[in-house]
Amino acid sequence: MTAKELAAHFEVSGRTILRDIDTLSSAGIPVYTMQGKGGGISLLDGYVLNKAALSGKEQNQILIALQSLAAAGNTDAKGTLSKLEKLFQRTDTDWLQVDFSRWGQGAQDNRRFELLKAAILERRVINFDYVSAYGEESHRTVCPLKLVFKSKAWYLQGYCLERQDYRTFKISRILYASLADEHFPAGQYSPPSIESMDTAALSLIELELEFSARAAYRVYDEFDEDCIRRNDDGACHVHVRLPEDDWLYSFLLSLGREVKVLRPGHIAEKLEKKRSKT
């Protein structure tokens, strides 16, 4: 294959392909190029990966990465994982199992994930209903671009045709997703990084929260233990920096009176107003 064909297949630039070829060559993998008609980039005929070229640590890293891909629904990764386990002759691979689905929702989550993956790879527009952090439901028509796993949850990045802008959707809140007949051309949309899409992350605020002992399990689910101080009565004092966004208020509201905002004052006041409306 030519560098141009590889770049189109992997949806990267030709410069990236050439850089990767240099990296593989430096690692001792016999990749070579031929100029002229019928030329291109090839791997030496009969070349087989020598497992001795990889340390035990590197072998583990490859297997863990493939387990993660397999858990994300990549069926090709499962076959590759099985072959490499035999090649590396590893018998200690059962210590880790990766499963991104929620308890009791595995089949449904996998179907939704497979549909979104297919839509991205086929560049097909999708329709779905979406539930916001405030519980508001709206219909969306989206050009899906990328699946992102961040902060213990899967997200879909895409271009929303209703909003005429890039949006990030939490996959667990996507309902009744279906493939549309329309396709969109490769390269038409290029999503910014998920961090830059979260403009609220640019304005983190200092929060002091106090949780009752009954809500302690939620505290350890959401916050790093370095942010938590456990009181003698079992209550938890949390000091953390977070964006003031929909997630923050929905999280605090979900705990009812089991959480108290100690500071800042405007968050406490806003939370009380929201509580009075529910």
Question: Does residue 157 contact residue 146 with C-beta atoms inside 8 Å?
Answer: yes
- Of the candidates 236, 231, 207, which has an alpha carbon nearest to the alpha carbon of residue 219? 236
Cβ-based neighbour number of residue 116 at 10 Å:
25
Cβ atoms within 10 A of the Cβ of 89, count?
A: 8
The torsion angles phi and psi of 212, rounded to 5 degrees, stand at -70, 165
Q: In 3-state terms, what secondary structure has residue 25?
A: helix
Indicate yes or no: pTM above 0.85: no
CATH topology agreement for domains 106-197 and 200-277: no
Question: What is the CATH T-level fold of the domain 200-277, as seen in this structure?
Answer: Alpha-Beta Plaits (3.30.70)
pLDDT digit string, tens, across residues 122-177:
999 999 999 986 678 999 999 999 988 887 788 999 999 999 999 999 998 999 99
Question: Which of these, 96, 100, 97, 146, lies nearest to 120 by C-alpha position?
Answer: 146
Q: pLDDT of 25-35, one tens digit each?
A: 776 677 878 77
Residue 169: beta bridge partners?
156
Residue 140: beta bridge partners? 128
Q: Where are the domains of the chain?
A: 1-47, 52-99, 106-197, 200-277
Report the CATH fold assignment for 106-197.
Answer: SH3 type barrels. (2.30.30)
If you ran DSSP here, which 8-state letter would residue 2 be given? -
